[in-house]
Amino acid sequence: MAEAITTDLPPELSDIELRLGRRVSELRTARGYTQDRLASETGFTKGYLSKIENSKIIPPIGTLIKIAQALHTDLAELLGTETAERSDAICIVRSWERESVVHGEEAFGYDYVALANKRRHKHMEPFIMVFPNEMAHEMRFDHEGEEFLFVTDGKVEFSFMIDGREQQWILSAGDSLYFDSNIPHRGRSIKGESKALVVIFRPPDQADDAPKRPPHTIFGS
Protein backbone atom coordinates (compact mmCIF):
# COMPACT_ATOMS: atom_id res chain seq x y z
CA MET A 1 0.00 0.00 0.00
CA ALA A 2 1.10 3.55 -0.67
CA GLU A 3 2.47 5.49 2.28
CA ALA A 4 2.98 9.12 3.08
CA ILE A 5 6.06 10.62 1.51
CA THR A 6 8.36 12.34 3.99
CA THR A 7 11.62 14.22 3.82
CA ASP A 8 14.50 14.63 6.25
CA LEU A 9 13.42 15.92 9.64
CA PRO A 10 13.27 19.71 10.00
CA PRO A 11 16.18 21.17 11.99
CA GLU A 12 14.00 22.21 14.94
CA LEU A 13 11.41 19.82 16.35
CA SER A 14 8.72 20.63 18.90
CA ASP A 15 8.61 18.77 22.20
CA ILE A 16 5.65 16.78 20.90
CA GLU A 17 7.51 15.75 17.77
CA LEU A 18 10.56 14.73 19.79
CA ARG A 19 8.55 12.37 21.99
CA LEU A 20 6.15 11.14 19.31
CA GLY A 21 8.12 8.05 18.30
CA ARG A 22 8.61 6.98 21.90
CA ARG A 23 4.90 7.37 22.62
CA VAL A 24 3.91 5.26 19.62
CA SER A 25 6.29 2.53 20.76
CA GLU A 26 5.09 2.70 24.39
CA LEU A 27 1.40 2.54 23.49
CA ARG A 28 1.93 -0.25 20.98
CA THR A 29 3.77 -2.29 23.62
CA ALA A 30 1.13 -1.51 26.27
CA ARG A 31 -1.57 -2.82 23.92
CA GLY A 32 0.44 -6.00 23.36
CA TYR A 33 0.89 -5.22 19.65
CA THR A 34 3.95 -6.17 17.68
CA GLN A 35 5.08 -3.89 14.88
CA ASP A 36 3.84 -6.56 12.46
CA ARG A 37 0.35 -6.42 13.97
CA LEU A 38 0.26 -2.62 13.95
CA ALA A 39 1.41 -2.69 10.33
CA SER A 40 -1.43 -5.08 9.52
CA GLU A 41 -3.99 -2.92 11.36
CA THR A 42 -2.94 0.35 9.70
CA GLY A 43 -1.85 -0.78 6.25
CA PHE A 44 1.63 0.72 6.71
CA THR A 45 4.79 -1.34 6.43
CA LYS A 46 6.76 -2.47 9.48
CA GLY A 47 9.76 -0.50 8.20
CA TYR A 48 7.73 2.71 7.98
CA LEU A 49 6.39 2.26 11.53
CA SER A 50 9.90 1.50 12.78
CA LYS A 51 11.12 4.82 11.35
CA ILE A 52 8.30 6.64 13.16
CA GLU A 53 9.08 4.92 16.47
CA ASN A 54 12.77 5.72 16.12
CA SER A 55 12.03 9.39 15.27
CA LYS A 56 13.56 9.03 11.83
CA ILE A 57 10.50 10.60 10.23
CA ILE A 58 7.61 12.78 11.38
CA PRO A 59 4.39 11.46 9.79
CA PRO A 60 1.47 13.62 8.61
CA ILE A 61 -1.65 13.98 10.71
CA GLY A 62 -3.60 11.44 8.64
CA THR A 63 -1.01 8.79 9.48
CA LEU A 64 -1.15 9.68 13.19
CA ILE A 65 -4.94 9.38 13.20
CA LYS A 66 -4.77 5.90 11.68
CA ILE A 67 -2.17 4.77 14.21
CA ALA A 68 -4.27 6.18 17.07
CA GLN A 69 -7.34 4.39 15.75
CA ALA A 70 -5.47 1.09 15.51
CA LEU A 71 -4.26 1.48 19.11
CA HIS A 72 -7.78 2.34 20.36
CA THR A 73 -6.76 5.80 21.52
CA ASP A 74 -6.77 9.41 20.32
CA LEU A 75 -4.14 11.94 19.33
CA ALA A 76 -3.89 13.50 22.79
CA GLU A 77 -2.70 10.24 24.32
CA LEU A 78 -0.61 9.33 21.30
CA LEU A 79 1.19 12.67 21.45
CA GLY A 80 1.52 12.62 25.23
CA THR A 81 -0.11 16.03 25.67
CA GLU A 82 -1.19 17.46 29.01
CA THR A 83 -4.60 16.37 30.30
CA ALA A 84 -7.25 18.52 31.94
CA GLU A 85 -6.55 19.31 35.57
CA ARG A 86 -9.91 18.33 37.05
CA SER A 87 -12.38 16.59 34.77
CA ASP A 88 -12.30 15.01 31.37
CA ALA A 89 -15.93 16.06 30.86
CA ILE A 90 -15.01 19.72 30.37
CA CYS A 91 -11.84 20.84 28.64
CA ILE A 92 -10.79 24.48 28.41
CA VAL A 93 -7.67 25.31 26.42
CA ARG A 94 -6.55 28.93 26.70
CA SER A 95 -4.99 30.58 23.66
CA TRP A 96 -1.52 30.34 25.21
CA GLU A 97 -2.03 26.62 25.96
CA ARG A 98 -2.50 25.55 22.35
CA GLU A 99 0.10 23.12 21.08
CA SER A 100 1.49 22.82 17.58
CA VAL A 101 1.00 19.14 16.92
CA VAL A 102 3.13 18.79 13.82
CA HIS A 103 5.19 21.33 11.89
CA GLY A 104 4.57 19.92 8.45
CA GLU A 105 5.67 22.61 6.01
CA GLU A 106 8.97 20.96 5.15
CA ALA A 107 7.79 17.38 5.39
CA PHE A 108 4.32 17.31 3.87
CA GLY A 109 2.88 20.80 3.64
CA TYR A 110 0.53 21.38 6.57
CA ASP A 111 0.91 22.87 10.03
CA TYR A 112 -1.60 21.85 12.72
CA VAL A 113 -2.35 23.50 16.05
CA ALA A 114 -4.44 21.42 18.48
CA LEU A 115 -7.44 23.13 20.09
CA ALA A 116 -8.44 20.41 22.60
CA ASN A 117 -5.02 19.00 23.40
CA LYS A 118 -5.76 18.64 27.12
CA ARG A 119 -8.68 16.26 26.69
CA ARG A 120 -8.23 12.57 26.03
CA HIS A 121 -10.66 9.83 24.97
CA LYS A 122 -12.58 12.15 22.67
CA HIS A 123 -14.33 11.41 19.39
CA MET A 124 -13.53 14.77 17.77
CA GLU A 125 -10.10 16.22 16.96
CA PRO A 126 -10.30 20.01 16.43
CA PHE A 127 -7.37 21.88 14.86
CA ILE A 128 -6.34 25.13 13.30
CA MET A 129 -4.74 24.10 10.02
CA VAL A 130 -2.45 26.24 7.89
CA PHE A 131 -2.46 25.51 4.16
CA PRO A 132 0.72 26.34 2.23
CA ASN A 133 0.68 27.94 -1.18
CA GLU A 134 2.77 25.14 -2.67
CA MET A 135 2.54 21.51 -1.62
CA ALA A 136 5.82 19.83 -0.68
CA HIS A 137 4.55 16.58 -2.21
CA GLU A 138 1.59 15.55 -4.30
CA MET A 139 -0.21 13.37 -1.77
CA ARG A 140 -3.74 12.74 -0.62
CA PHE A 141 -5.00 11.71 2.78
CA ASP A 142 -7.75 9.37 3.80
CA HIS A 143 -8.76 7.84 7.12
CA GLU A 144 -11.86 6.65 8.95
CA GLY A 145 -14.42 9.20 10.10
CA GLU A 146 -15.89 12.48 8.97
CA GLU A 147 -14.29 15.89 8.64
CA PHE A 148 -15.53 19.47 8.89
CA LEU A 149 -13.54 22.44 7.61
CA PHE A 150 -14.31 26.16 8.01
CA VAL A 151 -12.01 28.59 6.19
CA THR A 152 -11.09 31.53 8.42
CA ASP A 153 -8.44 33.28 6.29
CA GLY A 154 -7.46 33.21 2.63
CA LYS A 155 -8.70 30.99 -0.16
CA VAL A 156 -8.25 27.20 -0.36
CA GLU A 157 -8.40 24.82 -3.31
CA PHE A 158 -9.72 21.49 -2.01
CA SER A 159 -9.72 18.39 -4.19
CA PHE A 160 -11.07 14.84 -3.87
CA MET A 161 -10.59 11.63 -5.83
CA ILE A 162 -14.11 10.34 -6.50
CA ASP A 163 -14.58 7.23 -8.66
CA GLY A 164 -11.05 7.66 -10.00
CA ARG A 165 -11.57 11.27 -11.04
CA GLU A 166 -10.32 14.43 -9.36
CA GLN A 167 -12.94 16.99 -8.35
CA GLN A 168 -11.98 20.42 -7.03
CA TRP A 169 -13.68 23.24 -5.15
CA ILE A 170 -12.45 26.72 -4.24
CA LEU A 171 -13.30 27.78 -0.68
CA SER A 172 -13.05 31.38 0.55
CA ALA A 173 -13.07 32.76 4.09
CA GLY A 174 -16.47 31.95 5.60
CA ASP A 175 -17.03 28.86 3.42
CA SER A 176 -17.28 25.42 5.00
CA LEU A 177 -16.88 21.82 3.91
CA TYR A 178 -18.14 18.55 5.43
CA PHE A 179 -17.07 15.21 3.96
CA ASP A 180 -16.33 11.56 4.58
CA SER A 181 -12.65 11.33 5.50
CA ASN A 182 -12.17 8.04 3.67
CA ILE A 183 -12.37 9.92 0.35
CA PRO A 184 -8.77 10.71 -0.69
CA HIS A 185 -8.40 14.46 -0.27
CA ARG A 186 -5.95 17.35 -0.08
CA GLY A 187 -5.96 21.13 -0.05
CA ARG A 188 -3.68 24.05 -0.80
CA SER A 189 -3.82 27.80 -0.45
CA ILE A 190 -4.49 29.75 -3.63
CA LYS A 191 -2.22 32.62 -2.57
CA GLY A 192 0.08 32.85 0.43
CA GLU A 193 -1.05 30.99 3.55
CA SER A 194 -4.67 30.20 4.33
CA LYS A 195 -6.10 29.02 7.64
CA ALA A 196 -9.07 26.85 8.52
CA LEU A 197 -10.75 25.37 11.54
CA VAL A 198 -10.77 21.59 11.05
CA VAL A 199 -12.73 19.09 13.14
CA ILE A 200 -12.14 15.38 12.55
CA PHE A 201 -14.80 13.04 13.93
CA ARG A 202 -13.81 9.46 14.68
CA PRO A 203 -16.59 6.84 14.81
CA PRO A 204 -17.18 5.49 18.33
CA ASP A 205 -16.19 1.98 17.26
CA GLN A 206 -12.79 3.39 16.32
CA ALA A 207 -12.30 5.29 19.57
CA ASP A 208 -13.43 2.47 21.87
CA ASP A 209 -12.61 -1.23 22.00
CA ALA A 210 -15.18 -2.33 19.45
CA PRO A 211 -14.07 -4.15 16.27
CA LYS A 212 -12.47 -1.79 13.78
CA ARG A 213 -13.32 -1.20 10.16
CA PRO A 214 -10.81 -2.11 7.44
CA PRO A 215 -7.87 0.35 7.37
CA HIS A 216 -7.46 3.01 4.71
CA THR A 217 -4.31 4.31 3.13
CA ILE A 218 -2.63 7.59 2.29
CA PHE A 219 -1.93 7.94 -1.40
CA GLY A 220 1.15 9.63 -2.78
CA SER A 221 1.72 10.51 -6.38
Q: pLDDT, tens digit, for every residue of 119-176?
A: 777 788 888 888 877 654 566 777 778 999 999 999 999 999 999 899 999 999 999 9
Instruction: Return the C-alpha torsion angle 177, 4, 143, 110, nearest 10.
Output: -30
**Mean pLDDT across the stretch 115-119?**
77
Query: C-alpha angle 12/128/22, rounded to 5°?
Result: 45
Q: How large a percentage of the chain has pLDDT more than 70?
A: 70
Of 131 and 91, the structure prediction assigns the larger pLDDT to: 131
- Is the pLDDT reported for residue 74 higher than 60? yes
Q: How large a percentage of the chain has pLDDT more than 90?
A: 27
CA distance 40 to 22: 20
Ramachandran angles phi, psi of 70, nearest 5°: -65, -30
The pTM (predicted TM-score) of the whole model is: 0.65
Query: Could you read off the pLDDT of 43-60 as tens digits, one per residue?
Result: 889 999 998 898 887 777
